[in-house]
Amino acid sequence: FEVAGLLIVPLGNKSYASYTALLERDVPFVFLDRFVEKLSVPVISTDNQQGGYLAGRHLLECGFREVFVLMENSGEATSLRDRLT
């Protein structure tokens, strides 16, 4: 079948070979919310650093002084890394 293009939410570098295969076949695709740092591919993303800042600021303004972040992150999810930053 013929594909016009793909929207991909990458789950880290584990599918790196799949993404390069798409590039080699000239299949157009865009990453959503995350990206693979080694690939030059268009990305549509939220401002995760600003979102993390606003969430932290809100908690501080509500009087919370001890804020913990609980997330699964192997360092590959750029969106999670940026939110934590």
Angstrom distance (rounded) from CA 11 to CA 15? 7
Residue 39, helix vs strand vs coil:
coil
pLDDT digits (tens, 9 = 90+) for 59-75: 999 999 988 877 776 66
> What confidence score (pLDDT) does residue 1 get?
65
Whether 33 contacts 8, CB under 8 Å: no
pLDDT at 46 over 80: yes
